[in-house]
Structure formats: structure tokens, C-alpha cells
């Protein structure tokens, strides 16, 4: 059992799959000798060499164009887009080519491609380098979308993503790179489309993703001291979505809160709230509440970023108010 940081777990997960399958290769900007701007690919160039760890120019279109071609011709590439904000530069390739190729060829061409990217705020990087774009991705048919919150999940979900025959957008939360957790030795393979109950509870269901999982757990501990027993579920995978785990919890507790780093308009929690309203309406004891970032670009100033991102205190206040209804 090793104690790994979240960033080390990214490298561990990629190395596991590259060692297992020689078709797996890594392509992106500064991912070779530099080990990645966030050091998530450190050591891979030395271990696997320049033919399998390929540095590219600063061109997101070139990275994904090359990765798509590699996937179509039998390789299983992992492509890095350094910041998820930069998907805007190459979104046409993702949406109109990568996501649709298997469908448009009637399954004759598979697309076993993982696109990994640093996602989310909390590091004071400003509006163009701090976005959470899971809601962009989950709106596109043909893409799988995952966001791990622990080092163990990073390794297991990376393995599951690499082994998928469909394209997977793998969002690594930048604010979690330094966090640490225990990761067992040996091969680790998780399953896409499975949520994780991080804390069982009976009074309310709180759904969270990425950085927000830790904040939801912190809020649950505070609320427990007031006699409010909150179940915290790490959604982990938005596409496919584990509706069975989510709806079972919501029906049992009768109260649903989502904690979303996305801007409020069309966030992932809105879709889950819609599903819950359809499937669990008569089990709900209160209106569904979404705890989100306002619909604004994320500020870079410390105090302003802290004010707009969902915090432990805001989660506590909203859950306390909802449970008291």
C-alpha cells in the first residue's frame, strides 16, 4: 500500500496501462521530459521512450487530430489538453469528429481515446484557466465523462477509461493534485458509470464531484454535530451516470442537494435534478436544492474566488435550511 498524491496517481495509472498494453501511448504538450506542467506524467518518458510518449507543439488541434488518427488505426492513445479551458480551441474535433466517428461508421471504426485535462478552480488562475467544463462535455452524445476525487479513483478510472472503446474525457481537478491517499500495490481497474457513497446517512443526499466531494464531507461532519445525518455521494462519472445509486439514496433520504463547481446555468446537477424529479417525485420531502458557482467567469482574486465557489459553510447553511423545512 503506497501513499500517493493525486498527481502521482495520474502517472501511476497511465504507467500501469502502458506497461500492460503496448498500444497505449501518450501525446501532448510538455508531457515528455518536462513531466507535464502539473507533473502528472513525470517519469513516463524515461520509462517508455519517445515513440510512446510524444511531445507536441502548442496546438490543441494537432494533439487531438493526431490522437484521433492513432485511435482509428489501432492504438489506444491518451492525449493531454493542459487546461480544460483549452478544449474551446479544439472543440470541433471533439464534438464533430471524435464523439461521432463510431456512430457514423456503424461501429466499423472504434475510438479508444482518453483525453485528460486539468480542470477546475481554487488555484487563483483566473477566468481563462479555472473553468469546470464537465457540463460542456456531458451535453455531447458519444463522449464518456469522468472526474475522480481521490488518488485511488484516479488510477482505477484511468485504467477503465483506457480500456474503453469509446472516447473518454478524463477531468483531473487541479485543486486536488497535491492531495494524498492510499493506493494498493498491483493492478487497479475501476468501472466507469459507478458512483461512490463516501459517507452514509439518512436525513439528506448530497451529490458532489471532484474538489467539491471533500467540501461536502467537511459539511457533513459539521452537520452531524447538529444531529443532521447526511449521505455524501461522489458522482465520479457523469456519462455514463449511476442513476441506480443516486436515485436509491434520494428515495431513502427524501432530500437532494447537489454541490457543483460549474456555473449554475445548465450545470450537471440540473440534469440529475430533472431525473430525480421524474423518478423520485413522491419520495421527495423538500424542493431539490443546487449549491453552485454563480453564472459568472471565475475571478482570480483570492477573496472573490473563495466567495463564489461552493464552500463548506455554504453547504452547511443550505442543507440546514433545507432539512428544517
Q: CA 45, CA 41: separation in Å to the nearest integer?
A: 8
The contacts of residue 89 (CB under 8 Å, 6+ apart) are 60, 61
Annotated catalytic residue within 12, 102, 129, 215: 129
Cα–Cα distance for residue pair 255/266, rounded to 1 Å = 21
Query: To which H or E segment does residue 119 belong?
Result: strand 114-119
Q: How far apart are CA 138 and CA 142, in angstroms?
A: 9
Give backbone dihedrals phi and psi of 121, rounded to 5 degrees, phi first. -105, -160
Reply yes or no on whether 295 is catalytic: no
- CA distance from start to end of the chain: 45
In 3D space, the residue among 58, 66, 77, 90 whose CA is nearest the CA of residue 116 turns out to be 77
Q: Which residues neighbour 274 within 8 Å (Cβ) at sequence distance 6 or greater?
A: none
Burial of 108 (0-12, 13-18, 19+ CB in 10 A): exposed
Peptide bond into 126 cis (omega under 30): no
Residues taking part in catalysis? 129
Amino acid at each position: 500500500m503506497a501513499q500517493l498524491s493525486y498527481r502521482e496517481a495520474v502517472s501511476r495509472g497511465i504507467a500501469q496501462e502502458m506497461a500492460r498494453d503496448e498500444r497505449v501511448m501518450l501525446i501532448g504538450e510538455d508531457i515528455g521530459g518536462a513531466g507535464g506542467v502539473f507533473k502528472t506524467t513525470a517519469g513516463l518518458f524515461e520509462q517508455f521512450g519517445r515513440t510512446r510518449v510524444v511531445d507536441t507543439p502548442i496546438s490543441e488541434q494537432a494533439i487531438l487530430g493526431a490522437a484521433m488518427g492513432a485511435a482509428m488505426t489501432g492504438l489506444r492513445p491518451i492525449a493531454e489538453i493542459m487546461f480544460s479551458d483549452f478544449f474551446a480551441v479544439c472543440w470541433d474535433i471533439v464534438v464533430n469528429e471524435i464523439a461521432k466517428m463510431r456512430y457514423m461508421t456503424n461501429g466499423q471504426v472504434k475510438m479508444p481515446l482518453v483525453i485528460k485535462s486539468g480542470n477546475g478552480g481554487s488555484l487563483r488562475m483566473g477566468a481563462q484557466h479555472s473553468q469546470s467544463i464537465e457540463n460542456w462535455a456531458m451535453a455531447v452524445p458519444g463522449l464518456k465523462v469522468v472526474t475522480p476525487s481521490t488518488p485511488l479513483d484516479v488510477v482505477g478510472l484511468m485504467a477503465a477509461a483506457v480500456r474503453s472503446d469509446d472516447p473518454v474525457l478524463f477531468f483531473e481537478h487541479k485543486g486536488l493534485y497535491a492531495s494524498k491517499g492510499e493506493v494498493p500495490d498491483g493492478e487497479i481497474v475501476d468501472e466507469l458509470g459507478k458512483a461512490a457513497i463516501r459517507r452514509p446517512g439518512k436525513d439528506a443526499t448530497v451529490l458532489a464531484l471532484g474538489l467539491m466531494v471533500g467540501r461536502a464531507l467537511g459539511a457533513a461532519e459539521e452537520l452531524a454535530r447538529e444531529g443532521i445525518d447526511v449521505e455524501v455521494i461522489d458522482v465520479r462519472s457523469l456519462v455514463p451516470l449511476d442513476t441506480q445509486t443516486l436515485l436509491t439514496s434520494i428515495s431513502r433520504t427524501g432530500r437532494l442537494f447537489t454541490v457543483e463547481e460549474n456555473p449554475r446555468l445548465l450545470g450537471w446537477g440540473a440534469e440529475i435534478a430533472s431525473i430525480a424529479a421524474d423518478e423520485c417525485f413522491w419520495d421527495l420531502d423538500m424542493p431539490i436544492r443546487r449549491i453552485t458557482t454563480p453564472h459568472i467567469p471565475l475571478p482570480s482574486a483570492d477573496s472573490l474566488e473563495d466567495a463564489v465557489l461552493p464552500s463548506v459553510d455554504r453547504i452547511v447553511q443550505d442543507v440546514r435550511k433545507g432539512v428544517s423545512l
